[in-house]
Amino acid sequence: MQLKWRILQIDLARQKETVSYVKSYADFAAAHGYNALMLYLENAVRTPSTPFFSEEETYSEEEISEIVSYCGQKGIEVIPALENLGHLEKFFLYPELAPLSELYRNHAAGRGFDPFPLGSCGCVSEPEFNKFFDNYLTEVISLFRGKYVHMGLDEPFDFAVCKKCQARLKAGESKRELFLRQILHSRALCRSLGKTMMMWDDFFEYADVLSELPRDIILCNWNYVFIGDEPAGHWTNRIRRDWFRLYDELGFSYLFCTYAHRASSAYNVETFTAYAEKYHPIGAIMTAWKRSDSFYLGAYPVIAYAGALWSGASYGDRTEVYASVLGSRRAAELLSAANLVECPCRFPVDKVCEGDNMIKLVYREAVLPLAAKLRALARGAKGEGKDILTDIANYVTEIEVGLRLAKLSERLFDCRERGIPPQGLLPELDEIDSLVRHVKRQATALWKKYRGGIASCRNGFSEKFKRYRREIRAARAACAQTQKTGVLYADLMLYDAYPTVRGEVAIGYADGTRETVYKGSLKPTFALFDAGGCYTYRFAVKDVPPAYAEFTVTGEGAHYAAHFRCVAQGRKYLPCGVEIISGKVEQAENLLHDDTRAAKLGEEDGLKHFENIALSKERHTVRVRLSAGGMTP
């Protein structure tokens, strides 16, 4: 597939890089078929209007100009990727700009999923918002010589929730209209500067403004998973359209955007490219995001492969391209044969156990030997190939750690249920701990080499290893525990991987006491495979007779509960009755059946959540009474 635009992106907003490294990244792009470099910036540039920006986290105008000039000498156009609505959270951390946030005034309530206190969305009803950003974006854009500017406009979840915006909605305007006006405002700014605007297209799933957009806006469709006959939607409901067919019919120019996976998996690049070949995109963007706890190095093989593929190479050239980057035919063969997805151990292994399944078993048995082989190859490699292989081996080892911790958790819960002390788990945990220490040593050395003197954004690097240490400490304590616990089982179902729906699991005991045993996301590890069916969690509870289990759902979307059961004091307690405690619960009676019938809790309509953000705060609760005899439906 020969594409006009082959663009490689780097995220300088979520992790600052040295100017010399950005230049080397441009060198790599030029050497592997790319003709443009996209700098994702947000607030990463200090300008005359923002002298208060942190020098440690941002670039001077001179540094950006140096990068642009260098790329120009290489024949690489540099495209600034900015934000003009969402993803403005780092701007709002500065007191001078906090009033521009949608959540600043009147204690407006956002979705509650953003770790930043003022959210990430700007207020289009605040006159100073566009005034400031028009000025700031003009200053940044003036540093670039090319024709194109990417204005973002993606993921504005906390959009139009303040009292000013709500007053406009009550007066007859709609969120859709407000979103359209901000797009048109952004386009007008670009045109006034002699630029052509690009934008992400994901929020057309919620605000259908496509037919009203000028056709000179270039649309960027991102999708980072396996692509089948059509890309799945991004948000609640996975709203689908055959977007490229629609863009061709409406006369838009557009690009498809893949993801530079940390360990060079090619499934996203190949399947998205195959879909795009049926239509008429003008180019593609290889995106890379948020490397505050890792590096771009591990993605180099798949970056090079995408550049070759979009320059007319064949799909069969993957191993050859990998080998040319890695300097190792064996490593290329191993990576080329692997399809790697992120699957961290997200749960405290001593308190929550995600059940095993066939997909996990197959993946685990593929990853563990792969990780060991990659570590060995990295030890023997030399030059840049060694650094690339080290970064890849680190990532695959982190996947191994997550899989092994999850399996250890399962064995721990088996011991609890049988009432026997955990045995043989500490040596396994020692091995896992050793792997984490190995990754930290290797990654620290890479950080010193490539980012010496630069801090990790929001301490992402150190926080990652702190999480591992907490997890391992908790697992050690659990392995040393001899006291028997009860185990509450929850069989759940989900039909998408969108993580904004939350689950809360509680248990009531026969003695009248009650405890909440978990709050948070209850998505299965392999949700990104879009695997359907039931999956199971086990929760550590008291080893006393239970009276009931409660399941509460909050957030955006619906959760589906199929069955609850509990093992305590050697007895099994099954559902004997069910009642709705609060909120929207449908087919609650299905919880009395130990099969795949499920109760639905919450509002699954993503469009309703977009129009009324307060829905995500509602609590939808069902109580399942438990008894030793259960009931026979």
pLDDT tens for 99-121 read 999 999 766 667 766 778 899 99
The strand pair at 5-11 and 36-40 is best described as: parallel
Which of 196, 195, 219 is CA-nearest to residue 209?
219
Backbone φ, ψ for residue 427 (5° rounding):
-60, -40
Neighbours of 148 (CB within 10 A): 20
- Residue among 530, 537, 545 nearest 561 (CA): 537
User: 236 and 500 in contact (C-beta within 8 Å)?
Assistant: yes
Closest residue by Cα to residue 498 from 233, 258, 290: 233
Distance (Å, whole) CA 533 – CA 359: 12
What's the pLDDT tens digit per position in 132-188?
A: 999 999 999 999 999 999 999 999 989 999 999 999 999 999 999 999 999 999 999
Q: Is the pLDDT of residue 633 over 50?
A: no
What is the pairing mode between strands 514-520 and 501-509? antiparallel
* SS3 of residue 238 by DSSP: coil
Rounded Cα distance between 559 and 622, Å, is 12
Q: How many other C-beta atoms can be found within 10 angstroms of the C-beta atom of residue 184?
A: 15
**pLDDT at site 38:** 98
What percentage of the chain has pLDDT greater than the value 90?
80
In this predicted structure, which of 14-28, 243-257, 346-360, 363-377 has the lowest mean pLDDT?
Answer: 346-360
Instruction: Give 3-state DSSP helix, strand, coil % of the chain, rounded to 5.
Output: 40, 20, 40
Neighbours of 167 (CB within 10 A): 11
Number of H helices, E strands in the chain: 16, 19
What mean pLDDT is predicted for residues 48-66?
Answer: 97
Q: What percent of the chain has pLDDT over 70?
A: 96
Domains delineated in the chain: 5-336 (3.20.20.80), 352-480 (no CATH), 486-627 (2.60.60)
Rounded distance, CA 145 to CA 64, Å? Answer: 11
Sequence-ordered list of residues with C-beta below 8 angstroms from that of 36, at least 6 positions apart, any chain:
5, 6, 7, 8, 76, 77, 78, 79, 146, 148
- Mind listing the pLDDT tens digit for each residue in 294-343? 999 999 999 999 999 999 999 999 999 999 999 999 999 999 999 998 76
Task: Write the CA distances from 611 to 35, 159, 236, integer angstroms.
Answer: 40, 9, 13
The chain-wide mean pLDDT, for the chain, equals 93
What gap in Å lies between CA 268 and CA 126, rounded to an integer?
40
Average pLDDT of the residues in 422-445: 95
Q: Give the SS3 label for residue 609.
A: helix
Give the mean model confidence (pLDDT) for residues 85-108. Answer: 91
Report the pLDDT averaged over residues 201-217.
Answer: 96
Task: Indicate whether 396 pLDDT > 50.
Answer: yes
Q: With beta carbons less than 8 A apart as the criterion, state whether 330 and 377 touch.
A: yes
Cα separation values, 19 from 29, 60, 62, 488, Å: 15, 11, 11, 53
Res 398 pLDDT > 50: yes
Residues in the chain: 633
Dihedral sign computed on CA atoms, order 106, 111, 114, 120: negative
Q: What is the pTM of this model?
A: 0.95
**Pairing status of strand 599-603 against strand 585-586:** antiparallel
Specify the pLDDT at position 187.
98
User: Which of 550, 560, 625, 557 shows the shortest CA–CA distance to 598?
Assistant: 560
- CB 119 within 8 Å of CB 102: yes
pLDDT computed for residue 532 by the predictor: 52
Q: How many CA atoms lie within 13 A of 54 on its CB side?
A: 14
Whole-angstrom distance, CA of residue 119 vs CA of residue 438: 36
Mean predicted confidence (pLDDT) in 355-378: 93
Query: In angstroms, what CA-CA distances link 267 with 271, 272, 317?
Result: 6, 8, 14
CB 300, CB 363: distance < 8 Å: no
Cβ atoms < 10 Å from Cβ of 214: 12
Rounded-to-integer distance, Cα 456 and Cα 55, Å: 14
Confidence (pLDDT) at 17: 98
> What pLDDT is stored for residue 221 in this prediction?
97
If phi over 0 gives left and psi between -120 and 50 gives alpha, with beta otherwise, what is residue 518? beta
What tokens were used for 348?
A: 């405290």
Cβ proximity of 1 and 273 under 8 Å: yes
* Token representation of residue 431: 């091995």
Map tokens 């020692």 to a residue: 430
pLDDT reported for residue 514: 98
- Note whether 307 and 324 are within 8 A (CB): no
Beta bridge partners of 258: 286
Instruction: Give the distance, in angstroms, between the CA of residue 56 and the centroid of all CA atoms in the same chain.
Output: 26
**The two structure tokens encoding residue 71:** 């790329």
pLDDT at 232 (0 to 100): 82
